[in-house]
Amino acid sequence: QKEVEQDPGPLSVPEGAIVSLNCTYSNSAFQYFMWYRQYSRKGPELLMYTYSSGNKEDGRFTAQVDKSSKYISLFIRDSQPSDSATYLCAMGPYGNNRLAFGKGNQVVVIP
């Protein structure tokens, strides 16, 4: 079993819809969780970062972590065509820079 599972299926949504992405993980040592956005032919760009279970909001983005279920989610409200990108979940143990990544979800927001 991979440490991080992220269904890599592409996702197409109409502009204004809510995008919902999620990852599951198996390593209980993972303590911090991130979502990155990656545009084509670019490096990943950090979107959200959290240590604790619960919700964290930043503008149109909400990151949700449930450590008891080993499950994290990212929600994008009022999606825009500029949100079209690949979204990667990443996580690691506290104090360790070795991140484990999901395979990423390609999101297309249709105007």
Check binding of 100 to another protein (CB under 8 A).
yes
Give residues with Cβ within 8 angstroms of 1, minimum separation 6.
Answer: 26
* Contacts of another protein in 34-53 (CB under 8 A): 34, 36, 41-46, 49
CB 11 within 8 A of CB 108: yes
Stretch that binds another protein, among 9-17, 55-63, 68-76, 86-94 (CB under 8 A): 86-94
* Rounded-to-integer distance, Cα 64 and Cα 90, Å: 13
Q: Binding residue for another protein (CB under 8 A) from 81, 96, 108, 110?
A: 96
Q: Return the amino acid letter for 91.
A: M
State the residues that interact with another protein by CB under 8 A: 32, 34, 36, 41-46, 49, 88, 90, 94-104
